[in-house]
Amino acid sequence: MKLSLSFFVVGVLLVLLQTTFLHLFPVGPVVPDLILVLCVYWGLYHPTVGAALGSFLLGYSVDVVSSPILGLNAFAMSLVFLAVYLSSRSIWLHHPVVSSIVVLMASLVKGAALILVWTVFLSVDGFWTGAIRYILMEALVAAVLAPLVFALLRRGQAYLEEIRVTA
Amino acid sequence: MLAFLRKNQILLSSCFCLLLSLYILTAAARGQLKNDPIGPMLLWIMRPLQIAAQSTMNWIQDIQDSYSMLTGYKSENEKLRKRIQQLEIERNQLLEAEATNQRLQQLLEFRSRLPSGSVTASVIADSASSWFKSCLLDKGSADGVRKGMAVVTPLGVVGQVVAVTGRTAKVLLLTDANSGVDVLVQRTRARGIVSGSLDNGTTLKYVKRSEDIQEGDRLVTSGLDGIFPKGIMVGTVIKVRKQTLGLFQYIEIMPAVSLTRTEEVLIVRADANQQKN
């Protein structure tokens, strides 16, 4: 419970980072999607009901803060968590490059989900052309950052578990 | 049933979240989402944090902007400084060119009044010894300069050529102790010889005690020495002393030409008739 709460706090902090500080370091037109990386991490290393709800809530908070329609990112993040969770049984991660690949795939899944939902619910003309470039860039940036974020999250998780064991 | 739920709780909760988000999406797209309890709560949690983060970010951005502005100012300042230096050099060159132009124009005007065949020359060196008052000109025998020719400027007499090489000419200045120029006092037409000295400056010699000479009197060349054309300014009387003994007065003069500041001169060919004399 304590770990899930800590993860949620980290998630809120990442939303904060993504809506403020990360805009100082934009990579082209995209801002690094750290929330996606966290959801992938949850799907791989911390697959719990709390993590599933956390993914939904983080996506929802992104919607609340910046999406034109509620539920868009909540759906995408929940889908990412589910996809990573389902595939985690056949993925054995012990190399940073693999984590990058998983995040890249997850980011593409998220992009595809967003396009799907966007097309169904918002139907904006000429959305496809810009979206594909955007999705690819976002996926690449997230993939590049993934090993670092994973390492930090793992260290944090190990620290919290150590505290729990000693307590 | 309970075991199935427990076994697939993550899968089921994920599916539930997916369905919930789809429901929210549909409701939001249709405009039916009136009461959203989660959104305001999330915003309530995040608002103070976001305000703090945003103000920190603004602060960082301000520093970033100030820094880039400062570096911009710095490089602009550097550019402007260089430009000022460049303009200062150009301005000096222009001022110098203008001054030279004026001097040369005066020389040309003056030259037209002198006997034909005058040579314009520039001073290229001053005397190397304090015992002698002389200078070196950049024109010599190859340019038609001969020993004994007069050296003048529009302001007055400079001296006399005493030695010539192919490309240079040495001029003995009016202020040298060995020089001598036959002059007339413009007001009274009294004659005398202007010569320099080592201790008393430039003096007018051999003027009788009976002659009326006053301070401020102007001296011009008499033209009788066969070197200087007649009527060229030589100097102004600044001190007159009639001694108790002797035939002549002691008269100190101020040369018309500041010889240390002369840059361009005219070397005047002696008039043919005068040369014969």
pLDDT tens sequence across B135-176: 888 888 888 898 889 999 888 999 999 888 888 888 889 988
φ and ψ at residue B148, rounded to 5 degrees: 95, -5
Domain boundary among B72, B94, B113: B113
Across the range A97-114, mean pLDDT stands at 88
Domains of chain B: total: 2
Asked if the structure places residue B221 within a domain, the reply is: yes
So where are chain A's domains?
2-20+33-166
Is residue A4 within 8 A of residue A51, CB to CB? The reply is yes
According to DSSP, residue A122 is labeled T
Identify the pLDDT of residue A129.
65
From chain B, pick out residues whose CB is under 8 angstroms from the CB of A109.
none
Cα distances from A9 to residues A36, A81, A109, A165, B227, in angstroms, run: 15, 18, 25, 21, 108
Residues B99 and B127 in one domain: no
**Which pLDDT score, from 0 to 100, does residue B129 have?**
65
B63 contacts chain A (CB < 8 A): no
pLDDT at res. A127: 61
Q: Are residues B256 and B177 in the same domain?
A: yes
Question: B221: helix, coil or strand?
Answer: strand
Q: Based on the fold, state whether residues B170 and B204 are members of the same structural domain.
A: yes
Give yes or no for residue A28 having a pLDDT over 70: no
Q: Which positions of chain B have pLDDT values less than 50?
A: 272-277
State the nearest Cα–Cα gap between A101 and chain B, in angstroms.
22
For residues B233 and B36, give the distance between their C-alpha atoms in angstroms, rounded to a whole number: 108
Is B252 within a domain? yes
Confidence at residue B236, expressed as pLDDT on a 0 to 100 scale: 94
Distance CA(B143)–CA(B158), nearest Å, equals 19
Q: Tell whether B5 is covered by a domain.
A: no
Instruction: Name the band, by pLDDT with cuts 50, 70 and 90, for residue A26.
Output: low
Nearest CA to A149 out of A41, A21, A17, A5 is that of A41
Please name the member of B13, B39, B56 whose beta carbon is closest to the beta carbon of A52: B13
Q: Tokens at residue B276, please?
A: 């014969």
How far A100 CA sits from the closest chain B CA (Å)?
23
Residue B241 lies in a domain: yes
Cβ-count burial of B199 within 10 angstroms (0-12 exposed, 13-18 middle, 19+ buried)? Answer: exposed
Distance from CA of B62 to the nearest CA of A (A): 11
Q: Does B19 touch chain A (CB under 8 A)?
A: no
pLDDT, tens digit, for every residue of A126-163? 566 667 878 888 889 889 988 898 889 888 888 888 88
Q: Residue B12: closest CA among chain A residues belongs to which residue?
A: A49
**Judgement on whether residues B94 and B215 belong to the same structural domain of the protein:** no
CATH value at residue B230: 2.40.10.340
* Distance from C-alpha of B174 to C-alpha of B154, rounded to nearest angstrom: 15
Contact A36, A110 (CB under 8 A): yes
d(CA B38, CA A16): 17
Residues 76-135 in A contacting B (C-alpha not used; CB under 8 Å): 78-79, 81-82, 85-86, 117, 121-122
Helix (H, G, I), strand (E, B) or coil at B119: strand
Q: Is B94 on the interface with A (CB under 8 A)?
A: no
Query: What gap in Å lies between CA B82 and CA A103, rounded to an integer?
Result: 53
Residue B161 sits in the same domain as residue B250? yes
Q: What is the pLDDT of residue B193?
A: 93
| Contact (Cβ atoms closer than 8 angstroms) between residue A84 and residue A39 | yes
- Cβ contact (<8 Å) for A78 and B24? no
pLDDT of residue B217: 93
Contacts of B45 in chain A (CB under 8 A): 12
Q: Out of B85, B113, B141, pick the residue that ends a domain.
A: B113
Q: Is A20 in contact with B14 (Cβ distance < 8 A)?
A: no
What is the predicted pLDDT for the residue at A93? 66
Helix (H, G, I), strand (E, B) or coil at B69: helix
Q: Does B83 lie in the same domain as B132?
A: no
- Considering only CB atoms, which chain B residues are within 8 Å of A79? 18
Residues B99 and B130 in one domain: no
Same-domain status, B202 and B92 = no
B196 and B133 in contact (C-beta within 8 Å)? Answer: yes
- Residues A37-71 have pLDDT tens digits of 999 998 888 888 988 998 998 888 888 777 767 88
Burial zone of A76 (CB within 10 Å; 0-12 exposed, 13-18 middle, 19+ buried): buried
E strands present in chain B = 119-126, 134-137, 150-153, 156-164, 169-173, 181-185, 191-195, 202-205, 218-221, 233-241, 250-255, 264-268
Both B74 and B130 in one domain: the answer is no
A70-80 tens-digit pLDDT: 888 899 999 99
Look up the pTM and report it.
0.53
Q: Which fold has domain A2-20+33-166?
A: Arp2/3 complex 21 kDa subunit ARPC3 (1.10.1760)
Same domain, B127 and B172: yes
- Is A52 close to B10, i.e. CB distance below 8 A? yes
**The last residue of a domain, from among B113, B142, B158:** B113
Q: Whole-angstrom Cα distance, residue B54 to residue B39?
A: 20
* Chain A residues whose beta carbon lies within 8 Å of the beta carbon of residue B28: 69-71
Q: Are B92 and B191 found together in one domain? A: no
Q: Are residues B140 and B209 in the same domain?
A: yes
Q: Is B251 helix (H, G, I), strand (E, B) or coil?
A: strand
Contacts of B39 in chain A (CB under 8 A): 60, 63-64, 70
Domain that holds residue B231: 119-270
**Which of A9, A78, A109 is best to mutate for the B interface (most B CBs within 10 A)?**
A78
